């Protein structure tokens, strides 16, 4: 299977492995699975590092290098992802989820038929089969 990793899952794997949920460890340990990181995650890390370097100690460039060293494949943002972004469906009555990084990650997963691995409960508001919350 192919999985897109949410930014915080990657950061936990790199710097706080004790935070990675057991279900995620099982998926990550399966050598038959293929793992991707999004260029949007690199962008998110770069922005957070610039704004709050004490809270986000690692730069976007460092994030990129760590992901490459871990063997994750880079997923660029493409027109199919922007098109998928416009089709994301939230459950009726759910609060709006406006985080642009979360939304593009979900759109990338949807556009490429991957599963997004996240620990973010905000994704529960979506009516999309492309999310696996660990």
pLDDT 10s per residue in the chain (134 long)? 999 999 999 999 999 999 999 999 999 999 999 999 999 999 999 999 999 999 999 999 999 999 999 999 999 999 999 999 999 999 999 998 889 999 999 999 999 999 999 999 999 999 999 999 98
Q: Write the DSSP symbol of residue 58.
A: S
Q: What is the pLDDT of residues 80-91, one digit of tens each?
A: 999 999 999 999
CA distance 134 to 125: 15
End-to-end CA distance of the chain: 16
Contacts of 82 (CB under 8 A, 6+ apart): 107
Q: Residue with structure tokens 């999309």?
A: 128
Model pTM above 0.75: yes
């Amino acid at each position: 299977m192919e999985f897109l990793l949410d930014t915080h899952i990657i950061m936990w794997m790199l710097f706080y492995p004790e935070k990675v949920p057991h279900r995620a460890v099982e998926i990550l340990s399966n050598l038959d699975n293929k793992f991707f990181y999004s260029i949007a995650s690199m962008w998110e890390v770069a922005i957070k590092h610039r704004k709050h370097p004490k809270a986000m100690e690692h730069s976007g460039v460092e994030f990129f290098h760590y992901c490459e060293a871990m063997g994750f494949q880079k997923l660029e943002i493409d027109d199919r992802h922007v098109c998928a972004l416009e089709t994301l469906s939230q459950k009726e009555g759910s609060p709006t989820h406006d985080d642009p990084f979360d939304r593009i990650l979900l759109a990338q997963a949807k556009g490429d038929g991957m599963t997004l691995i996240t620990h973010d409960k905000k994704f529960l508001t979506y009516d999309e089969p492309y999310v696996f919350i660990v």
